Amino acid sequence: MTGIDLATITAIDMHAHAERSVRTPASRALPDHPWPTPTAEDVALHYRALDMACVVFPVDAEKMLGAPPVPNEEVAEIAAANPDVLIPFGSLNPHRGEGLPLRARRLVEDHGIRGFKFHPGLMEFFPNDPLVYPLLGELESLGVPAIFHTGQAAGGGRIRLKYSDPIHLDDVAVDFPGLKIVMAHPSFPWQDVALSIASRRENVFIDLSGWSPKYFPPQLVHYANTLLKDKVMFGSDFPVIAPERWLADFAEAPFRDSVRQGILKGNAARMLGLDAA
């Protein structure tokens, strides 16, 4: 197979995690870690069985999670072996020092990484910190999107909520207008802030991962049905939420029929450039 066939898949999940082959629970920030820890191969098998594609990524937050991340190159290699279902994103912690822009370029150009995932709470940085701007500038130059966790984080623990306030992404959107920014999750307790940013900044999108649609704030559903109908995308946060469960609850949620296909597939396909492939 040579890539994602938009005619045959039913949906694109913008948010799936790849864990280590050795099942190492996150020991400090997420002490209970009650969900499974699928490898990238597990993710491919799960989504192929559902006739769906997904964005899959590790999270580079070793200090907070107590375990090293899955190597970006490993995720890219497994995605290359499963191009019909996996869209590989990398993860680079801004605290790893100089050389990250070059590292990002090599991951994109040499390994086929299609974007990057950041978790400001787990990585302990503000997205508009000058520390991260050289890396974000490189991503803009490369033309690949960046997903940022927003709002509260599963498990709580030592994760500081302040880093995941979406207001910091407004600076990033203005300073890097060519960078596609995805705000992951309903941004509780800053949902209205996230909606305002996404509606005013052309380069900002929202993925709906991490929550069942039956618990979405009403204003999020309203904006998804109207002003943001082309900028809101399906995401499950697998394995925290199974895509099957998310889709079943989405079917019962008050979304307009006219926006459902865009949320499930069309908006992500355009944002990722799959519709032009």
| 35-45 residues labelled b (16+ CB within 10 A) or e (exposed) | bebbbbebbbe
Tokens 């002003």 belong to 227
pLDDT band at 76 (very low <50, low <70, confident <90, very high): very high
Residue range 180-192: mean pLDDT, rounded = 97
Instruction: Cite the beta strand spans of 18-143 per DSSP E.
Output: 53-57, 86-88, 116-118
Tokens 């996404």 belong to 198
**pTM listed for this prediction:** 0.93
Please state, in angstroms and as integers, the Cα–Cα distance from residue 152 to each residue in 9, 65, 71, 127, following that order: 31, 16, 26, 15
pLDDT at 276: 66
- pLDDT surpasses 50 at 26: no
The Cα 113–Cα 106 span in angstroms is: 9
Neighbour count for residue 229 (Cβ, 10 Å): 17
pLDDT at 29: 42
In this predicted model, what pLDDT tens digit does every residue of 114-129 receive, in sequence order?
Answer: 999 999 999 999 999 9
pLDDT band at 28 (very low <50, low <70, confident <90, very high): very low
Domain boundaries, the chain: 12-276
Residue range 179-200: mean pLDDT, rounded = 97
For 90, phi then psi, to 5°, come to -100, 180
**What rounded mean pLDDT belongs to the chain?**
91
DSSP 181: E
Which sign does the torsion angle of CA 255, 258, 259, 265 carry?
positive
Please state, in angstroms and as integers, the Cα–Cα distance from residue 79 to each residue in 50, 61, 188, following that order: 17, 21, 32
Quick check: 100 and 112 in contact, CB under 8 A? no
Neighbour count for residue 63 (Cβ, 10 Å): 13
* Pair of tokens at residue 51: 């006739």
- pLDDT surpasses 70 at 21: no
96: amino acid identity, one letter = R
What CATH code would you report for 12-276? 3.20.20.140
- pLDDT surpasses 60 at 183: yes
The Cα 215–Cα 205 span in angstroms is: 20
- pLDDT surpasses 90 at 22: no
Quick check: 28 and 155 in contact, CB under 8 A? no
pLDDT band at 176 (very low <50, low <70, confident <90, very high): very high
- Which run of H or of E encompasses 76? helix 72-81
230: amino acid identity, one letter = D
